[in-house]
Amino acid sequence: MDTTLQDPLVGQVLDGRYRVDARIAVGGMATVYRAVDTRLDRVLALKVMHPGLAADVSFVERFIREAKSVARLAHPNVVQVFDQGADGSYVYLAMEYIAGCTLRDVLRERGALQPRAALDILEPVLAALGAAHRAGFVHRDMKPENVLIGDDGRVKVADFGLVRAVDTVTNTTGAVMGTVSYLAPEQIETGTTDPRVDVYACGIVLYEMLTGDQPHYGDSPALVLYKHLHEDVPPPSALVPGLAFELDELVALATARNADIRPYDAVALLAQVLETRGSLDAEQLDAVPPQAVASGHDNAEDLTSVIPRAVSVQRALNVQRPLPVNEDEPPVDERRFNRTSRLESVATAPPASAPPSRRAPRSPKRRAPLAILVALLLVLGVGAGVWYINSGQFTQVPAVLAQTQAQAEDRLADAGLDLGKVDKAYSDTVERGTVISTDPDVGARIRNNDSVDLIVSLGPETVPVPRLAGYRLDRARAQLKRAGLEPGRVTREFSEDVPLGSVISTDPDPGTERRAGSAVALVVSKGSPVEVADVTGATLADAQAELEEAGLKVEVATGTVASDEFEAGQVAVQSPEGGTEAAEGDTVTLTISKGPEMIEVPDVVGDSVADAKEALEAAGFQVDEDRGLLGLFGDTVKKQSVKGGKTAAKGSTITITIR
């Protein structure tokens, strides 16, 4: 079932102006709807804050700040904000509507992009951010979800809800807003939010476009943050062999952990991108990735949320010992770190899931004498024999996660352990041929010479796209989910052969193997086209009968319009216009005429001809002169066809008699 039908706002009119037609997307802070501005008769996007947050002053201020910030950015690659207001518990922004998809949708469906396509998307994004940076703003939340790609190919940057002034620094004892996978190191350490944090995020986005995957993954937000602080972004060519080294250099420059090395703002990075493009030949720009890596993101999970930010991400973790994975749970889905989040300092201890760090060997100068050690053991009530029985016969399962099976066997052997049973399992997050989990878990206490079972990844599971032509939309969506796929973007087309509401085709085609969880786009029939009759000039009853007979619905607009062409009660305006095509069941909106506008006629009797004509024409009338034989040489108005003070239709003719 289409959950849009359950949304209480759909079908309502906000602020007496914005008619909500359909829900587009849901976020953690707001829901976005497709709506119609009934005053200007244009389609727009309505971003409505969740009513439960409207009482939070900080959220409302962020909403208003977004409207004011974008209003100052008159740029073709920025989604424009037209209006901001409130209706009861609903606080909203009226925004430009972009028919199309997000960059995340593209990456989810296609995986890695050709370098030319990646740069074609990145350049307008940097142009938009450059305008923001030069206007004194930092976006702070750049990610594929906030890059919109219109059906006409236009690229626009959206969601300036976290925008801040360039010189703003957030106290790290407070909270840092952003998306974990795209945060710059200085945002994590000091809360600094100058234009270079957007440059860093764009570097991550470029890496993701070139490889289809993110550079940093981890089992917790803290581990991802740690990697931003302590690990360089790997070159894209390491994941997609054959990419030009100039692209590796561009990613490395934009994602340098030292902010001073990065371009100082998006304008500077754009110049570098253009220079890089100019250095590549057509073959390098059009290089096809040998194996597209579909990121498989689900927009439903990219929600604004609050997650703790442990201060310990600045401390060294044992990166040689990945976090344990419980084999009874599904593999960790790093997609949850693509949410816009508030990172709050809540503890100084390492993350609960972080592995124990190995102790550094003590310096000989600090090594306690054996006698002191024995004395200490005795004081603690621990004898040497007890230590050997309880510890000397045991070891820990070494870190073998994400290692190949051969590497895992070597590490187990070095630890004095045997390889036990080896099972295989599909995984969307662990590379094919590498270890997903162990039994016992990594780091677990185990007797020497015991065996360790491994589960090795088969890589992502692929499934064929089912044949859905002729299925009703709700059933087609259910079939996709049953097959392990996700319903993607729905477009509608006229069809003489396929009934209204049924699937015409899918993209990709039926039988195509896709990664489990990937989205499949659907083309749904609007039925046979119906020609909309021109009913202007007809009475409302006649117009309604004619349109409904053709299979269309009729809606009468609130209020009437003045019309010199149509009498009161006749149809003056219709939308869509007569002669256009619509689908059966579509709605035609009719606006009724209230007749011509009536205005007061000036009294010009006794005036000169010139003054009389000037007064009447200024009031909105046309003037005709009646001189007769006696008025051939006269210049004074003796009579007018409509007496002064009476009303007449605007634009009608007033005859003046001259004597």
Q: Which residue numbers are catalytic?
A: 141
Beta-strand relationship, 394-396 and 553-561: unpaired
Residue with the two structure tokens 């989604």: 79
CA 26 to chain CA mean position, Å: 10
> In this structure, how many other beta carbons lie within 10 angstroms of the beta carbon of residue 246?
16
- Under 8 Å between Cβ of 412 and 450: no
* Tally of residues, the chain: 659
- Evaluate the CA torsion angle 286, 284, 146, 131 in order and state its sign: negative
- Under 8 Å between Cβ of 296 and 515: yes
In angstroms, rounded to a whole number, what is the distance separating the alpha carbons of residues 410 and 659?
A: 120
In angstroms, rounded to a whole number, what is the distance separating the alpha carbons of residues 138 and 496?
A: 51
Instruction: Retrieve residue 406's tokens.
Output: 């051969």
Mapped onto helix, strand or coil, the DSSP state of residue 532 is coil
In angstroms, rounded to a whole number, what is the distance separating the alpha carbons of residues 78 and 446?
A: 58
Instruction: Retrieve residue 229's tokens.
Output: 């602080």
- In one-letter notation, the amino acid at residue 454 is L
In angstroms, rounded to a whole number, what is the distance separating the alpha carbons of residues 214 and 320?
A: 20
Q: 126 to each of 181, 278, 334, 406, 572, how far by Cα in Å?
A: 19, 17, 26, 44, 47
DSSP string over 559-574: EEE--SSS-TTBEEEE
Instruction: Retrieve residue 297's tokens.
Output: 């993101």
> In this structure, how many other beta carbons lie within 10 angstroms of the beta carbon of residue 226?
25
In angstroms, rounded to a whole number, what is the distance separating the alpha carbons of residues 544 and 522?
A: 34
Instruction: Retrieve residue 14's tokens.
Output: 């906000």
**Is the bond into 576 cis (omega within 30 degrees of 0)?**
yes
First to last CA, the chain: 80
Beta-strand relationship, 100-102 and 571-575: unpaired
- In one-letter notation, the amino acid at residue 459 is G
Q: Based on the number of CB atoms within 10 Å of its own CB, is 153 exposed (0-12), middle (13-18) or buried (19 or more)?
A: exposed
- Evaluate the CA torsion angle 609, 611, 615, 618 in order and state its sign: positive
Mapped onto helix, strand or coil, the DSSP state of residue 273 is helix
- Under 8 Å between Cβ of 128 and 98: no
Is the backbone of residue 269 left (phi > 0), alpha (psi -120 to 50) or beta? alpha
Mapped onto helix, strand or coil, the DSSP state of residue 648 is strand
Give the ranges where 530-624 is alpha helix by DSSP (H): 540-549, 609-618
